[in-house]
Amino acid sequence: MSLLDIHVLGSPVLRQETTPVTVVTDEIRCLIDDMFETMYAARGIGLAAPQIGRPERLTVIDITRDHDSKQPMVFINPEIVASDGAIRGEEGCLSIPEVFGEVQRSASVKVRALDRDGQPFEVEATELLARCLQHEIDHLHGRLFIDHLSLLKRKAALAKWDEEKGKYPDLRRTVVPALLIAEHHDDAEL
């Protein structure tokens, strides 16, 4: 498995429509494994293919954030087939580091997708999973959470991003696993 670079705001791939996956090949399964590794290393709860510069319509999610009891979920060609209610909540994005905002989303969604074996399934989601699914499916259609903010809040978010973006001159961020940071820190203390 490999860690992949995550594209950040300004990279054109984040604004492109994705292409549906026609056959779930071993190459796609390998990409899925790399996306999980990258998402866990970045301490995210979701990652969509455009975020690592790929055009395929697929996303990986694990909202547990507890590395001892992982619940990895794969959604290939996901579609929201039903939704209900509305709820506001804070979101971040691995492609816009250090920027956060309150976004209104459907309170519950039903999503249809293919799994890593190409088999169709449906999931009904509420709370964080519903929010994460909507955030990731937005990525698959070139939309970002900042697009849902009011003009004033979007301006504030973009001003914050202006302060941050200098850290990413080539519009990518390389994820350093937390374990390596801890080891480096321990070495420095010796």
**Active-site amino acid positions:** 136
Exposed e or buried b per residue across 118-154, where buried means at least 16 C-beta atoms within 10 angstroms of its C-beta:
eeeeebebeeebbbbbbbbbbbbeebbbbebbeeeee
Q: How many residues bind ligand K1U (CB under 6 A)?
A: 17
Residues 117-176 that bind ligand K1U (CB under 6 A): 131-132, 135-136, 139
Residue 172's DSSP bridge partners are 7
Indicate which of Zn ion, ligand K1U, none lies near residue 61 (CB less than 5 to 8 Å, by partner kind). Answer: none
CA distance 166 to 161: 9
Element (H, E) at 188: helix 178-189
Min dist CB 170 to ligand K1U, Å, is 19
Residues 1-60 that bind ligand K1U (CB under 6 A): 43-48
CA atoms within 13 A on the CB side of 39: 29
CA distance 136 to 9: 15
Which residue, 6 or 24, is less far from ligand K1U as judged by CB? 6
Min dist CB 62 to ligand K1U, Å, is 9
Min dist CB 113 to Zn ion, Å, is 18
Which residue, 77 or 95, is less far from Zn ion as judged by CB? 95
Which residue, 52 or 114, is less far from ligand K1U as judged by CB? 52
Q: Which residue is nearest to ligand K1U (CB)?
A: 44
CA distance 132 to 47: 9
Applying CB under 5 A, does 41 fall inside the site for Zn ion?
Answer: no
| Alpha-carbon dihedral angle through residues 48, 53, 56, 61, given to the nearest 10 degrees | -20
Note the residues at the interface with Zn ion (CB under 5 A): 93
Note the residues at the interface with ligand K1U (CB under 6 A): 43-48, 90-95, 131-132, 135-136, 139
